[in-house]
């Protein structure tokens, strides 16, 4: 197939594989209602054609947009359609693995409930704790950079605190701050503070001695050097910490709800749905969390590209 792509070009290959993939996917879904063995063969063929389609789209130099966005969408379509066909063909019970169509139906029917859970967990718990934890880490990083005794004393403690398991710290913080979103925000603060602190401190130390000597020849103060040289140079490290902490914030807020929460929240919904064997609802909650995490990560990536356009990692 790669020889075919090289012979006819990426554009023609993509336009050939796309309708072929759609036809085979439709056949796989239809055959899923019949003989499971034949359905699996059609799914395997669909996966192979989908793989060739994604490979062609990924190398589409004439359309970089397709290489960046359409290829992941095509790969996701292969996974979802294959999941649907195999689950239906093998008659897998929904309490073990519901098909995507059932998850979509449950998601649509419970959007008001999922929205309330999203507000409680993501907007109130995760986002507030994320902002507060990152702000505290930034202020502490400046102090650590300014005073060497803090670097020697605080960073080892930070490494120790970062290694503490969330299942140990979350119940304590829930007991301290109550069962509402404030305790989840406290868990998130603890989880994001030290990764952000370590990244910012490393970024502030990333300038060379020659650059710092040049600022001294200009009679720049510590704060002038910080704002005009060291902080801009630290931005790649800062955004690396922000993106890592974004994932930790979502995990911390959801897991903390397992140890106590009001009757709303993504973690509470997962726990309650598992007790009812409603796996379709659990997967719906996972979709909400995945969408929230992807949007936040994408926003941070776009902001990083805009602010650190000068960095070699952003060059194309």
User: For the segment 268-297, what is each residue's pLDDT rounded down to a tens digit?
Assistant: 899 888 888 888 899 999 999 999 998 998
Q: Between 298 and 15, where is the model more confident?
A: 298
Same domain membership, residue 183 and residue 84: no
Would you say residue 75 lies in a domain?
yes
Quote the tokens at residue 145. 């950079």
Residue 176 lies in a domain: yes
Q: Each residue of 14-29: pLDDT tens digit?
A: 666 666 666 666 666 6
Residue 45 has pLDDT above 90, yes or no: no
**Stretch 156-172: mean pLDDT:** 76
102-114: average pLDDT: 90
What end-to-end distance do the CA atoms of the chain give, in Å? 28
Model pLDDT, residue 285? 92
183 and 62 belong to one structural domain: no
What percent of the chain clears pLDDT 90, i.e. is strictly above it? 11
Which one has a higher pLDDT value, 50 or 219? 219
- Domain match, 255 and 111 both: yes
User: Does residue 183 contact residue 130 with C-beta atoms inside 8 Å?
Assistant: no
Query: Which CATH number fits the domain that encloses residue 288?
Result: 1.10.3720.10
- Are 86 and 122 members of one domain? no
Measured in whole angstroms, the distance separating CA 208 from the mean position of its chain's CA atoms is: 33
Residue 169, pLDDT > 60, answer yes
Considering the domain architecture, whether residues 83 and 156 belong to the same structural domain is answered as no
Query: Could you tell me if 148 and 254 lie in one domain?
Result: yes
Instruction: Among 92, 126, 148, identify where a domain stops.
Output: 92
Q: How confident is the model at residue 53 (pLDDT cuts 50, 70, 90)?
A: low
| Furthest-apart CA atoms within the chain: distance in Å | 80
- pLDDT band (50, 70, 90) for residue 13: low
How many Cβ atoms are within 10 Å of 289's Cβ, its own excluded? 22
Q: Which of 39-53, 95-109, 181-195, 204-218 is predicted with the least confidence, judged by mean pLDDT?
A: 39-53
C-beta separation of 35 from 24 below 8 A: no
* Number of domains comprising the chain: 2
Of 60, 92, 124, which residue constitutes the final position of a domain? 92
pLDDT at 178: 80
Report how far residue 126's alpha carbon sits from residue 146's, in angstroms, rounded to the nearest whole number.
30
79 and 137, same domain (yes or no) = no
In a domain, 102, yes or no: no
Same domain, 82 and 216: no
**112 & 46 share domain:** no
- The answer to whether residues 260 and 177 belong to one domain is yes
28-45: average pLDDT: 62
77 in a structural domain: yes
My answer on whether 78 and 209 are in the same domain is no
pLDDT of residue 288: 92
Domain enclosing residue 57, as ranges: 2-92
pLDDT at position 65 over 90: no
Chain-wide mean pLDDT for the chain? 79
Q: Per the domain annotation, does 97 fall within a domain?
A: no
Task: Write the DSSP string, 2-52.
Answer: HHHHHHH-HHHHHHHHHHHHHHHHHHHHHHTTS-HHHHHHHHHHHHHHHHH
- The answer as to whether 295 is a domain residue is yes
* Domain end position, chosen among 27, 58, 92: 92
The encoded tokens of residue 187 equal 């868990």
Residue 99 in any domain: the answer is no
- Cα→Cα distances 254→173, 236, 261, Å: 14, 28, 10
The pLDDT of residue 94 is: 81
List, for residues 237-262, the tens digit of each pLDDT value.
889 989 999 988 998 889 888 887 77
Assigned domain for 210 exists: yes
Reference 62, options 3, 5, 10; nearest CA is 10
Rounded to two decimals, the pTM is 0.78
- Same structural domain for residues 114 and 72? no
At 174, the pLDDT band (50, 70, 90 cuts) reads: confident
3-state secondary structure of 53: helix
């Amino acid at each position: 197939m790669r020889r075919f792509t090289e012979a006819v070009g990426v554009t023609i290959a993509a336009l050939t594989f796309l309708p072929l993939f759609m036809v085979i996917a439709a056949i796989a879904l239809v055959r899923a209602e019949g003989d499971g063995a034949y359905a699996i063969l059609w799914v395997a063929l669909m996966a192979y054609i989908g793989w060739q389609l994604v490979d062609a789209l990924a190398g589409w130099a004439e359309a970089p947009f397709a290489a960046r966005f359409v290829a992941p969408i095509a790969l996701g379509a292969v996974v979802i359609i294959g999941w649907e066909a195999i689950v239906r063909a093998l008659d897998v019970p929904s309490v073990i693995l519901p098909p995507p169509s059932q998850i979509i139906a449950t998601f649509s029917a419970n959007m008001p409930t999922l929205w309330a859970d999203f507000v409680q967990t993501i907007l109130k718990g995760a986002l507030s704790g994320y902002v507060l934890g990152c702000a505290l880490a930034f202020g502490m990083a400046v102090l650590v950079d300014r005073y060497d005794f803090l670097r020697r004393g605080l960073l080892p403690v930070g490494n120790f605190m970062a290694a503490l398991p969330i299942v140990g710290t979350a119940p304590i913080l829930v007991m301290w701050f109550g069962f509402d979103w404030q305790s989840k925000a406290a868990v998130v603060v603890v989880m994001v503070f030290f990764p952000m602190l370590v990244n910012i401190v490393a970024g502030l130390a990333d300038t060379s001695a020659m650059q710092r000597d040049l600022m001294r020849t200009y009679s720049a103060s510590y704060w002038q050097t910080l704002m005009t040289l060291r902080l801009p140079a630290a931005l790649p490290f800062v955004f690396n910490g922000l993106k890592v902490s974004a994932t930790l914030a979502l995990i911390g807020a959801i897991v903390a709800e397992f140890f106590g929460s009001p009757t709303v929240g993504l973690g509470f919904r997962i726990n309650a749905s598992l007790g009812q064997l409603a796996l379709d609802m659990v997967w719906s909650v996972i979709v909400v969390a995945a969408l929230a995490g992807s949007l936040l990560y994408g926003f941070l990536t776009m902001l990083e590209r805009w602010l650190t356009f000068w960095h070699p990692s952003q060059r194309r």
